[in-house]
A and B are shown apart, each in its own frame.
Chain A
Amino acid sequence: MKKMIVAILKDTDTNQVSEALVKMGYCVTRIASTGGFLRQGRSTLMAGVEGEEVDQAIQVINDNCLPTVEPIIKRATIFVLNVEHFEQL
């Protein structure tokens, strides 16, 4: 079953994370965005992955986000959604 990962990351981590995901063979779409709570620079990545690869993809995101100075500021927010229908034309 196909899943979509929506990951909200810091701008500074986005390049490295998306390169790592592309290297793994996932297709990634990047959207510039702003965080609502603290208004920092944030980017949104959308990636389509197979169900069994979700954990692996999240691990890749985790490994490529630099640690933050303040522990309460999260490095990434990740939503995993079920994809009802997927097609590439």
Chain B
Amino acid sequence: VFDTAWREALRAQRRTFTHLMRDGVITDDTFAQLVGEVDLALEEPYTLKTSFARSTFQSPVSSLMTVIIQENDAENAVNMLNKMGIVITRLPSIGGLLKKKNVTLLIGVPKNLEENVWQTLDAICKTRVVHKGDTSQIEIGCATIFSFDIECYKEL
């Protein structure tokens, strides 16, 4: 049963990549690489170790991205990044200018997926125009990303 579920999850992941490529979120090269990794995992027999999607990406986590996005985009962004096998911690936060709620994501990113994370966030998060007071309109940007090199990454 676990094996079937695991394989089904991998196929779903594969379909997501297909959609991402069709929508122009990721390039053909990236698509080929990601799908290659999924196909490789599909050939492997099921073990507990492979049961987490992120285990299909062998590359170690190399940087910590602190991403601040609008609340409306958070759900989509988290779901999409999870489908890519990336683990996220979500923090509620408040922006300084409009005092509006937003979301801060802490994302541990493997070297080979950094570019994909940028592209995904860029595709999902939208620029919005909001009203401040009665007269002024302000355009709020899609995402603020700080990327830190990690000295050391550990999972206990």
- A residues contacting B by CB (< 8 A) are 3, 6, 8, 31-37, 42, 44, 54, 58, 61-62, 65, 71-72, 74-82
Contact = CB atoms under 8 A, between A and B. Distances in A.
Nearest to A78: B154
Interface of B: 48-49, 51-52, 64, 78, 81-82, 87-92, 105-106, 108, 148-156
Contacts of B52: 72
B58 to A, nearest CB: 17
Contact of A8 (B51, B89, B151, B152): B89
Contacts of A76: 154-156
Contact of B89 (A34, A54, A58, A80): A34
A78 B91 contact: no
Given A36-B87, A81-B150, 8 more contacts: A32-B91, A37-B82, A44-B106, A72-B48, A72-B49, A76-B155, A78-B155, A80-B150
Nearest to A70: B48
A34 B154 contact: no
Given A37-B82, A80-B151, A82-B151, A75 B156 contact: yes
The binding surface of chain B is classed by DSSP as: strand
A78 B156 contact: yes
A72 B91 CA distance: 24
A6 B61 CA distance: 14
Instruction: Please indicate which of the listed interface residues B148, B153, B155, B156 has the most CB atoms of chain A within 10 Å of its own CB.
Output: B156
B156 A6 contact: no
15 contacts: A33-B92, A35-B88, A36-B90, A37-B88, A44-B91, A44-B106, A58-B154, A65-B156, A72-B49, A72-B51, A76-B156, A77-B156, A80-B150, A80-B151, A82-B148
Nearest to B148: A81
Contacts of B82: 36-37
B91 A31 contact: yes
